Structure 1
């Protein structure tokens, strides 16, 4: 799993930063990706990346402020020009469907693929064979959501030596055992999956939050996450200003990561008053609160690796 930051600026673009969008590339064999927010210019940023719109599977909109959604209609329209663009589902706050319907009706857009818009509430919004995605409302000037993406565990590796000792023939029985099913051989011997399959490999957890003041749901969504993405619009010491606009400071983002027990924190959504050097200094300045903090960099990829498999 990898994250690419297609925009890291708050409110408006700058010469070096676009407005908010994050791509989450999924592991093999799917190799698709999800988008979290689609600020103006997102599809232009994608042209300089390996991301292709026909591989886009889902879009998550944290809230309806323009710097998070003004690029959405154009990107959806462009996706129709890509061969193999299948159905697409968008998840976001109430009002998202009316926003898109109004633009598409007024401009006569024909997408050429199925588009599903799901206006979310708090709780589990996706549960498939790969991932569980949970949403919770944060504290901002508009309804704003955060998302916790939990990868389902991978089954352990087969113990080929033990399978040979037990006389299990290669083929469909291997698949059943790997899925955790006990099997009975032609001779009548029952082979239990736990005897020939290693321990499951825990999935990764990535938490991506929309704009927010510090709040309990931010900590809950980020609990023990492998990676937390949290906004840091203002420098520490500007907490009163941040609260007035529904945002957080670098200090507050570090405190959320610490309180949640997250393993790693990437901050983004920087005020245009700070250049890249100042952003780096602000992040370094709160390492006493949370050591594993780093600022997001435009178009940079951040890998979320698996821990090595451990077999029983």
Structure 2
């Protein structure tokens, strides 16, 4: 198979059929799904088994008879360990892929590997279309909805703070996965960690096109943005302080793990930026702001940066 599609599941019964059907309906057929259920308490496992009967060799089901829950990062790591293709995609079972998604990202990957070489760690990412639980549109663009700066992918100090490369839009190659593994013990999110590795040591290529319906249903692993517009941000000011503090702790732990893992490979400026991010939770209020400014640790929008400087 050209592409392995990593699909972790956990209590996904409500969405799983629609997601898998959107893969089957793609115009690119040289793929295999690799999936593991993380101890679901609904009917997810039975749905996976029924798809196993339908897809045969085009799906690999990693058994979990003890129903051990590894968490989202641990489940992805277990699945990535079983992926053998040179190219890997990521699929969240609550999304729906748009037609042509695989072909588009595959063709761009082929161009990128031709330009940069097959040994270069590369990830391809796209925009996504946020929708509600019933697939009704929320916004035509995740990047605009969440106020993400796609130009941040060229600078590690910016990627440390925020990741515009959404996991279910990703197609990445074997050199990137080899360098990024293991994930557990370091990654805040699997996609953020992979994007950091690509930013530091490889290439990130973003396609300014939405390739999937990104379902938001209240139980997502990722957080809702507080800054969809200025009026909503003002109404949610009470949540802003706790959100900023949570994000700072999260990115600091990831920055610490990243700098420890790759210290000997990093450019000096990147290492210093990671060290500064690592120190944010334990620094004084004044020093936090000094570190942010000195090392360029900015989010992707003005309003987010104002919130950070107020609540940091």
- Please tell me whether Structure 1 or Structure 2 has the larger radius of gyration of its CA atoms: 1
Task: Tell me the TM-score normalized by structure 1.
Answer: 0.30
TM-score normalised according to structure 2 size: 0.30
Structure number having the greater helix percentage: 2
